[in-house]
Structure 1
Amino acid sequence: MKIGVVVNDISTEEAWYDTTLLLSAAVHKGHDVYIMGVGDLNYMANGHMGAFAVKVKNGKSRSMENFLKNIQADAKERVHISSEELDVIFLRNNPCEDIGDRAWAQTAGMIFGQIALEKGVLVLNDPYSLMTAFNKMYFQHFPEEVRPRTLISRNADDIKEFYKEQGEKIILKPLQGSGGKDVFLMDNSTNLNQIVESINRYGYVIAQEYLPAAKDGDIRVIMLNGKILEIKGKSAAMHRVNKADDIRSNIHAGGVPQKAQITDEIRRLCNIVGPKLKRDGMFMAGIDIVGDKIMELNLDSPGGIVSIEKLEKEKFAAKIIDAIEKKIEYQKYYDGKLPNSYLATLDV
């Protein structure tokens, strides 16, 4: 199997990213794996998607640090690969990281992924659905039962009114964002105007009801094919505990991963969102749960597998690669006639 993995930029990848672990799992299973940044993609004169990529070597590195260092060192000697040669393109770039000077890169992976899809390459997650889901507005299409009460606006007066309705305690964050960046707790605050103005520079503001359970952190659950990813009864999930005096539990923001207790309530919430994720071709998703609500869906480059594997002592990354292998097998049985969004979440 030949897999192309798209990231924001090879030079900015980190050893502790899930993408590094997934690359390692794929090459150790004997697959040809190519990593490329969104700026390395191109449209070829023959109508295929192409890319200047680094072929990942199975170097038996003892650490992810050395494994990634070798990949980045090889970036000077890239090879050209096209959708004629690839079986799978795994989109692992995060559009939110390209706000600003690299705005051109935000949708590039999805756009070029659509070209590859039309040429018979399996693209994960489905790039047409990702185009409607690369900001947090997508979450509002899920049942109200699973979501906190939310207002999305650029109007400061709207947000002030919502703030009063919620007892002057809400969460503010940008519509496009990740990793806990620019997330604020407004609690009887006097600087609401300044915070709204600051977030407005990047687009729309999400004002969300504050959930008291957030003081205990959140539960990150990895879903695959519309279901919780599990091995031998162990779930791909972790409890992310906030640092003192910080509402954010993201690992990027200093959250501490601990083993998660998968309750009936967590399973119920995942079961509710699963059918739409499956219908939309969302092969892999990260679900952030606080109390009895889902706070966010992470669909572009959902992470947590590195921490979860350490906690649970199971090879979840290898199981993700196994799932891709099965999809390619079925794609060949049906001679490419299965729609990408269907095949992306086919659970076989």
Structure 2
Amino acid sequence: MRLLILTNTVDCLGENDAPLSNAFRRLGCEVVLGELNAIAADDYRFFTRGVLLAQDGQSYHPGSAVVGHRGTYYLDECQLIWVMNHPQDRLFRDVWPMLWLASQHTPFVNSIEGLVFLNPKHALGYLLPKANRAHSYISNEFPLLWERYRQNSHQRWVAKPPNSTNGQNVFLLSPNGSNARVILQCLTGNTVAQESYGELGGFKAEYAILQEFITQVAQGEKRVIVACGKAVAWHGRQGHPDDHRSNIVQGGKAIPVDMHPGEIELSESVGQKLMAHGINFAGIDMAYPYILELNLANPGGLYDAQLASGVDRSDQVAELIVAHFRKSSS
């Protein structure tokens, strides 16, 4: 089996690129690391630049540069493709359709439809039972979100964009907070100020989510990695003392934790629903019994769980995925 991992750059591997490319090679697979933002077509046959990794036992680590000759690799010559990031903003209107077209002939670990439509936070209401998600309001109109906040200003809220990652622009709104109004204006595009001054430039509104704050977060948040519907790795996330966010890139720390049966059952039930839409690898942010977010494109957690626990689960992930697709093709 030849696996093509499409990533942002082969000069600095990510936290999934490195351990998973090692694991698939240990299984005897050929692994090509290709550039996601260099997808092109020759008479509508799609290819990219990439490097075929040598089967020489060399292990890569996050931050490593791939050693080898860069060549051209056609997507239809691979037996499995893994999109390990989002295309750059300037390119996604072209890259996503080309990848979808390629997926009509070659299996993808995570389906293009799932990555495009289920990765944003809008999808939580579809994927999660009501008992396992926070009540949320989604709009690109400041007055609507502001009115919802004012009606329940005695409680804490979280405000954030629906498509952000790594804790970007995630705000904690305090009860009757003096900054709540300006934060919601900012997240929805500051349309009030622009209209007041008659600025030109077209449509300015942006979507934002106003979400009830989950008190269970204070007791500890967990990142769970689910592969082919199985919870395979997890770690706790200890937030920075000066920040309400626990994201690792925002100063949070991965810590070893146990998972009780209810948490595993909930993670795997969500994993099974994701599989029905072609998503076979995902990261779940949980403060039981609530799921806070689902991360489908390059979810961190597998490598962080290894650092926290000392156990590398990448071989188990590779085995589950290879077995799933071999079964599907038989």
Q: What TM-score do the two structures reach when normalised by structure 2? A: 0.86
Which of 101, 123, 148 pairs up with 1:115? 101
Matched, 1:194 2:218: no
Amino acid at match of 1:284: F
Structure 1 residue corresponding to 2:76, chosen from 53, 75, 84? 84
How far did 1:41 drift?
0.8
Structure 2 residue runs without a partner (length 5+): 190-204
Match of 2:316 among 297, 319, 323: 319
One-letter amino acid of the structure 1 residue matched with residue 317 of structure 2: I
For the Cα contact (< 8 Å) 1:54–1:78, is it kept in 2?
Answer: yes
Match of 1:35 among 25, 33, 52: 33
CA distance in 2, matches of 1:258, 1:317: 18
Q: In angstroms, what is the RMSD of aligned CA positions?
A: 2.3
Contact 2:280 2:321 in 1 (8 A): no
1:85 Cα deviation from its structure 2 partner: 1.4
Q: CA deviation at 1:12?
A: 5.3
Structure 1 residues 312, 12: CA separation in 2 closer, same or farther (over 3 Å shift)?
A: closer
1:112-171: per-residue Cα shift (whole Å, max 9, x none)?
33222222x210101122221231111121321211010111222222222234424200
Does residue 25 (structure 1) correspond to residue 23 (structure 2)? The answer is yes
- Alignment of 1:146 with 2:144, yes or no, is no
SS in 1 for 2:47: strand
What residue number does 1:223 align with? 226
Partner residue, 1:275: 272
Q: 1:105 to 1:36 in 2, by over 3 A?
A: farther
The letter of the residue matching 2:122 is: M
Counterpart residue type for residue 175 of structure 1: P
Shift of 1:221: 0.8
User: Which residue does 2:199 correspond to in 1?
Assistant: none
Instruction: Give, in angstroms, the shift of residue 79 of structure 1.
Output: 0.9
1:19 Cα shift?
1.9
Distance 2:221 2:185 in 1: 28
Contact 2:75 2:102 (8 Å CA) reproduced: yes
Rate the CA distance shift 1:107–1:279 in 2: closer, same or farther, 3 A: farther
Contact 1:107-1:131 at 8 Å conserved across structures: no
C-alpha separation between the residues in 2 aligned to 1:39 and 1:279? 27
Distance 1:299 1:195, change over 3 A: same
Of 128, 138, 143, the residue aligned with 1:157 is: 143
**Amino acid corresponding to residue 159 of structure 2 in structure 1:** L
What SS class does the counterpart of residue 295 from structure 1 fall into?
strand
Matched residue, 1:206: 209
C-alpha distance in 2 between matches for 1:324 and 1:34: 16
CA contact (8 A) 1:217 1:248 kept: no
Match of 1:175 among 162, 165, 178: 162
Q: Is the CA contact 1:48–1:115 (under 8 Å) kept in the aligned structure 2?
A: no
Q: Is the 8 A contact 1:171 1:208 kept in 2?
A: yes
Residue 136 of structure 1 pairs with residue 136 of structure 2: no
Q: Specify the code of the residue in structure 2 equivalent to 1:32.
A: E
Please report how far the alpha carbon of residue 111 of structure 1 lies from its aligned counterpart in structure 2 after TM superposition. Answer: 2.7
Provide the rounded CA distance (Å) in 2 between the counterparts of 1:313 and 1:248: 25
Amino acid at match of 1:203: E
Q: Which ranges of 4 or more aligned residues in structure 1 deviate by more than 6 Å? A: none
- 1:125 equivalenced with 2:123 (yes/no): no
Residues 196 and 59 of structure 1: is their aligned pair in 2 closer, same or farther, counting only changes over 3 Å?
A: farther
Q: Provide the aligned length of Structure 1 versus Structure 2.
A: 312
> Cα 1:327–1:211, aligned 2, differ >3 Å: closer, same or farther?
closer
Look up the equivalent residue of 1:44 and give its one-letter code.
D
Separation (CA, whole Å) in 1 of partners of 2:149 and 2:219: 23
d(CA) in 1 for partners of 2:316, 2:225: 12
Q: Distance in 2 between matches of 1:294 and 1:107?
A: 32
- Paired amino acid for 2:238: V
- 2:195 corresponds to which residue? none
Which structure: greater helix fraction? 1
Matches within 5 A, 1:53-64: 53-58=50-55, 60-61=57-58, 64=61
Q: Alignment partner of 1:64: what SS?
A: coil
CA distance in 2, matches of 1:304, 1:257: 9
